[in-house]
Structure 1
């Protein structure tokens, strides 16, 4: 697929923060002098052609009142891993939930990132999850500091321009 100058402008725009409006794609489309439908059709085409794999949000949880977080690693029996993972991932307090292989000195296979308004709220939630799931073997890994969160940025240019 050859990218047009409009395609490149759309790609650049999608790499930026979305407008903080009730209809961010409509606002973005207006900025690009397109209809919202035309913009969304381009996004669908980019996905179909493999140019765009996903759109994701970077949530700055401290700015929305979630001042504490903790990574909890759980030792979940293999026959329960899918159901437990789905149960935990459905909870709004959890932003990340994923399975990882165990190691000889590391028996934990389910990782969850939990956010709360206080340290006590996070700890209470962990105990609640343990009671709900019956998973009692876990460890809390606390963040020492928050690293810079940025999205990927790609430079769009034609191959001839690099010669």
Structure 2
């Protein structure tokens, strides 16, 4: 289904974040010349139609002191990727979980991201994931610098 112009405008107005006010939907509605109820209805409709996957707040983790970010890469038997990936995705400390192809010299086929206050915390999380899944062939790679982090933009 194609997006309507109002839906497109809602996405444009919210893709950098919603206003930090007591009535963000009202603020958006006033910019668009529609009711607050219509803004909420259109957001729900876009979610129901899979135009957007979710609509929610995200916290700037660095702003609250969470500076240890680790990509954990896992060598999972191919026949177990679906089950192990789904299990890893249920873990609260995992913020991203992807299956990716292996490459010559790179045996890892599941990638997860974990964030915490210290590198030791991230290492402990990876160790717990390893125990839970039975996957002990993994590496933990820490972010050194964030150059860019955004969602998809229209």
Q: Same fold (TM over 0.5)?
A: yes
Distance 1:110 1:142 in 2: 16
Higher deviation after alignment, 77-86 or 25-34: 25-34
Structure 1 residue 16 and structure 2 residue 12: aligned? no
Q: Deviations over 1:51-79 (max 9, x none)?
A: x4445666421123322011010001122
Q: Deviations over 1:69-92 (max 9, x none)?
A: 110100011222122111211122
Q: Deviations over 1:13-54 (max 9, x none)?
A: 12231234677545544664544431133235556788x444
- What secondary structure does 1:72 align onto? strand
Distance 2:22 2:125 in 1: 31
Structure 1 length normalisation: TM-score? 0.74
Aligned length: 152
CA-based RMSD = 3.1
Structure 1 residue 92 and structure 2 residue 92: aligned? yes
The answer (yes or no) to whether the contact 1:115–1:122 under 8 Å persists in 2 is: yes
The answer (yes or no) to whether the contact 1:58–1:151 under 8 Å persists in 2 is: no
Structure 2 length normalisation: TM-score? 0.77
The answer (yes or no) to whether the contact 1:73–1:108 under 8 Å persists in 2 is: yes
The answer (yes or no) to whether the contact 2:7–2:46 under 8 Å persists in 1 is: no
Partner of residue 129, structure 2: 129
The answer (yes or no) to whether the contact 2:76–2:110 under 8 Å persists in 1 is: yes
Partner of residue 65, structure 1: 65
Partner of residue 118, structure 2: 118
- What secondary structure does 1:113 align onto? strand
Distance 2:59 2:3 in 1: 33
- What secondary structure does 2:147 align onto? coil
Distance 2:152 2:38 in 1: 24
Distance 2:141 2:134 in 1: 20
Q: Which has the larger radius of gyration?
A: 1
The answer (yes or no) to whether the contact 2:47–2:54 under 8 Å persists in 1 is: no
